[in-house]
Chain A
Amino acid sequence: MDLSLTESQEMLKASARELVEREFSKDNLVKKDTNGGFQPSDWKKIADLGWAGLLIPDEFGGEGGSLTDAAVIFHELGRGPVPGPHFSSAVLGTLTVLEGATPEQKMSLLPRLAVGATVVLAPAITESDYGWSASQIQMKAAKRNGSYTLNGAKLFVQDAIGATHILCAARLGSGKIGLFIVDAKTPGVSLRPLPGFTTGVGEVRFDRVIIHESNLLGEGREDGWTILERTLQKAIPILCAYQVGGSEKVFEMSLEYANTRVQFGMVIGRFQRVQDHVIEQVNQLDAARWATYEALWKLDTGQPAAASVHMAKALASEAYYQVCNAAHEVHAGLGIMREYGLYLHTKMSRTLYHYLGDPKFHKRRLTNALEAQGVI
């Protein structure tokens, strides 16, 4: 047993931390947030380090990294919190293509995904009946003469703005779910951001969008939901690592503030009720951290991991949310000033809480998984 990172992971971690501190400092991120959000040029900075292709195998021009390698980087990005399509495109989108695409589709997509600029993929799954179960996919894809026509709207799509392609889940004639790769410039596709206390969320409308049948992932495959479920098992812990990184940073900010802010003639960290908030943060953080990294280890070493993955998401969503709440208790007024930047984490913690399933959803899945594994 050795719970330390490998040497190459330590190097990844160091370069990721250096990038986040240099390019995505708090002041920078606050500025971006108030001026229209994340820009494609920002994505290029990340892609230039090869991280867009981190999970893409050698033969497609990627780095062939492990899931834990990716998690190490996402942990650091979460400390920003750096917004942008790195999770949607480089993890969830990429892994879906690896899981379900035909060799031709892989050849045309993966090398371009790996360089990060020419293809940015945003998975569009949820609709107005919000949720992460297959039954909630109602959008139809009607087939005629070798083409599909897509009609409907996808809601709460992460990173749709700035995506060159949308990975869209829709019902085929058979009633099964297919995944379509849709160029965002196809006539009838429209994107708009959804404003509010949330980050990177948009709506994608499909108004009689006609696409060639070769755009169905895996050509003719009607098990799109199975592909997605399998992919999510691998992708979710990497999102958890991002939430862990965010939690870690917010905990550090709160500890530092408690040790510098003076009231009643002493630093507020002397007060046990303030200490309680900081202790709550470190407890939430460590629970999420070790559950996440154990799930990644199981996946990377090919062990059954479903229960661990569901547990990690339940804990990481809860941790990030609660760590931010506790931070607001410690910081009081300062915490709601935009320039201080804490709100960027708070907003992100809310956005990711339910993304790919909230704690309640994953706890239900956890019990199912334990039953399937014969633990219960």
Chain B
Amino acid sequence: MSKVGCRLTCPSFSPCGRRCRMRGETLWIRCFINAAYRAALILSLLSGARIEDGPSLSCPFTTLERLLFMDFELKFTPELEGFRKKVQDWLKANIPDGMENPADPVDLTLEGYNKQRALGRKMAELGWLYPTYPKEYGGGGLSDDEAIIIETELDRYDQLLPPYYDSGGKLAAATIMVWGTDEQKRAFLPPILTGKVRSWQLLTEPDAGSDLANVKTTAIRDGDHYVVNGQKIFVGSAHGAEWSWMIANTSPNGKRHENLSWFVLPMDLPGVTWTHMDLIFAGNESGALSGYKNTVYLENVRIPAFNLVGGENNGWKVAGTHLELEHGLMQGSLNGDRTLQKVFKVCRDLKREGRHLLEHDDVREELADLYIDSELTRLLHLRNYWMRSAKKPMTYEGPQAYLHMKRAALRTSKSLHKILGPYALTLDKERGLEDGHIEVQQRGGIVAQHPGGTVEIQKVIIARRLGIGRAVKEQAGVLR
């Protein structure tokens, strides 16, 4: 996407007799954009040329700005398409066999997980693991466009970027970029960005869910260390993580929101123990929406004071940065809901009352609703992506997209249940549909309601951002 927002003044214009009624003026100007000129222009734009603003004339018809339209298409220059080819070839040669996600990815064995980690480290050597982060910290120094290409190509293999979910890179790295000292950036970013270390977040506690600021885990200063005691729940990952990052209470008698601090915590420190939580959705390693969760106990864990990021008792502000990311600013998909293709297939194949599902009017109506929800997921993320890359000030858009996805997930569950009846609810190898993807969605739709904040919490954030009942609109969190 080169900048096509340029204004070009047509090299030859002469009086034409078109009545320009803009602003009530009458101008007598004609723009001759001859075919050769236009072709040259389009070519130069496609090849990534950045054309500076020319002088503009008062009649808008004499300028050719962009290609005259709003543009919804993610366009890539020939150079970028070359990069795509390179990524495709490399993945073809380097993706280990059998790395497609099974329906219920709890099946991801330790061996499978280790393959993902190995792939990540290989990608990091090319700068593809964290493409947009600065090279000096182990990132790729690449553009948003290149990152999108890598993500899109990995998506063909049902793999994420990074291939293993890594909240340390997805969320914490951005936070450290904003709040860390130079020394902390040098210490914490390279291991994460090169794939050496994988990290998870320690946020939620039994008494701090929606009310995250109510965390009870304490971190009390003791010389060059903080001593941590407490319990964190709903911590993802079946195969562990080398690091975690967390908020803890560093001032037990302090004022709410001014008593928290943000730490990077190596998980091999003495006093850290895990137990698995038994939930309705086994889920996997693939991120916040996965259901494989653990309880983490912290008993007299000594964290070096160096690992405190953003200053003592400033943790609530620091957390705002990654909560923003989690709340849909970078999350979600520009492809809509991938379950949909599977549902269409089932409706073509399966019969009810002697007719294919697709021939039933009620099913056709449900499919329209499913399609619209999926398209809105895509459109809202497209808008957010555009606003972010065009550096437009954002307020409520992230949580709005997140809220839509949460609501759409439950609506989708109900639609599938209505269309497929008991078939939607069975995982049975012989009788279940689409390798169990449909049944998993029945549980996944419910599980999707709470990670990163419930529907109600999203609405609380949106209300602040719209400035409902407030004198000042809250801005979206600070990002790189």
User: B-contacting residues of A (Cβ < 8 Å)?
Assistant: 1-9, 11-12, 15, 48-50, 58, 63, 66, 68, 255, 258-259, 266-272, 274-276, 278-279, 282-283, 286-287, 290-291, 293-294, 296-298, 300-301, 307, 311, 314-315, 360, 363-364, 366-368, 370-371, 375-376
Contacts and interface: CB of A to CB of B under 8 A. Distances in A.
A267 to B, nearest CB: 5
The 8 closest A-B pairs by CB, nearest first: A269-B469, A8-B60, A50-B21, A363-B368, A270-B469, A275-B463, A269-B468, A367-B364
B378 to A, nearest CB: 9
Nearest to B404: A283
Interface string B400-415: 1001100000000000
Given A6-B65, A269-B470, A367-B367, A1 B372 contact: no
30 contacts: A1-B72, A2-B70, A3-B72, A6-B66, A6-B68, A6-B70, A8-B61, A49-B21, A68-B70, A255-B466, A255-B467, A255-B468, A258-B468, A259-B468, A269-B470, A274-B469, A275-B463, A278-B466, A279-B462, A282-B400, A282-B462, A283-B404, A286-B380, A287-B376, A293-B70, A296-B70, A297-B72, A311-B372, A360-B365, A367-B365
A258 B469 contact: yes
Interface residues of B, number: 58
Contact of A363 (B365, B386, B400): B365
Contacts of B1: 1
Given A1-B386, A300-B69, A7 B21 contact: no
Nearest to A8: B60
Given A282-B396, A283-B400, A364 B380 contact: no
B425 interface: no
Contacts of A368: 364
Given A2-B386, A3-B70, A276-B459, A375 B21 contact: no
B66 A2 contact: yes
B344 interface: yes
B463 A301 contact: no
Given A311-B372, A363-B369, 13 more contacts: A15-B23, A49-B24, A258-B468, A269-B463, A269-B468, A272-B459, A287-B376, A287-B404, A291-B379, A293-B70, A297-B71, A367-B364, A370-B367
Nearest to B367: A367
B463 A279 contact: yes
B63 interface: yes
B18 interface: yes
Output the residue of B24, B347, B364 with the most chain A CB within 10 A: B364
Main secondary structure of the interface of A (DSSP, over half): helix
A293 B344 CA distance: 26
Nearest to B460: A272
A58 B18 CA distance: 8
B36 interface: no
Contacts of B22: 8, 11-12, 15
B148 to A, nearest CB: 10
B348 interface: yes
B66 A278 contact: no
A52 B379 CA distance: 32
Nearest to B73: A1
A260 B4 CA distance: 42
A55 to B, nearest CB: 14
B66 A282 contact: no
Output the residue of A1, A259, A278, A375 with the most chain B CB within 10 A: A1
Output the residue of B364, B369, B469 with the most chain A CB within 10 A: B469
B54 interface: no
Nearest to A49: B21
A376 B5 contact: no
Nearest to B5: A2
B277 interface: no
B390 interface: yes
Contacts of A276: 459
Interface string B442-471: 000000000000000001101100111110
Output the residue of B71, B396, B470 with the most chain A CB within 10 A: B71
A91 B379 CA distance: 26
B317 interface: no
Contact of A364 (B61, B365, B375): B365
A210 B66 CA distance: 51
A11 B23 contact: yes
Contacts of B371: 307, 311, 366-367, 370, 375
Contacts of B403: 283
A376 B348 contact: yes
B29 interface: no
A8 B379 contact: no
B19 interface: yes
Contacts of B63: 7-8
B75 interface: yes
Nearest to A1: B74
A66 B68 contact: yes
A12 B68 CA distance: 14
Contacts of B73: 1
A314 B299 CA distance: 56
Given A1-B73, A363-B368, A279 B379 contact: no
B466 A279 contact: yes
Interface string B293-330: 00000000000000000000000000000000000000
